[in-house]
């Protein structure tokens, strides 16, 4: 009967063997696929690998141009979301929001 350690060593050897065989078969598959693509003039789009022309989803912060700027601090605001304190204070002081348009 084999010991536990002998079986572990066999498993490691078999995993190494399997990885070598995988790499060899993978290289052969890539070569075959490239040949078929060239023979049949298959495009990446036909394989579902090309861009669909749709913009990728941008979750989180979006890049919206600033619409208002504080001339003192240089802080800006796009006009979206909660109004910044610097602009709210100016409006409360009687100034027009339009005075800070970029």
Q: Residue 28 has what pLDDT?
A: 96
Look at the chain and report how many structural domains it folds into.
2
Assess contact for 78 and 67: CB atoms under 8 A.
yes
- Which pLDDT score, from 0 to 100, does residue 41 have? 93
pLDDT of the residue at 30: 95
pLDDT tens-digit readout, 38-92: 999 998 888 888 766 666 666 666 688 889 998 888 889 998 889 999 899 999 9
Decide if 44 is inside a domain.
Answer: yes
Residues 60-67: contacts with CB under 8 Å, at least 24 apart: 66/102, 67/101, 67/102
Residue 1 sits in the same domain as residue 32:
yes
What domain range includes position 93? 68-100
Confidence (pLDDT) at 37 = 93
Could you tell me if 43 and 12 lie in one domain?
yes
The 3-state DSSP class for residue 85 equals: helix
What is the pLDDT at residue 52? 60
């Amino acid at each position: 009967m084999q010991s536990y350690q002998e079986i572990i060593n066999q498993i490691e050897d078999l995993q190494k063997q399997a990885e070598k065989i995988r790499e060899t078969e993978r290289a052969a598959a890539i070569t075959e696929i490239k040949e078929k693509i060239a023979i049949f003039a298959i495009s990446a789009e036909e394989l579902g690998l090309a861009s669909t022309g749709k913009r990728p989803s941008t979750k989180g912060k979006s890049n919206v141009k600033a619409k208002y700027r504080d001339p003192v601090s240089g802080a800006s605001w796009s006009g979206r979301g909660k109004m910044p304190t610097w602009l709210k204070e100016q409006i409360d002081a009687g100034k027009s929001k339009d005075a800070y348009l970029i």
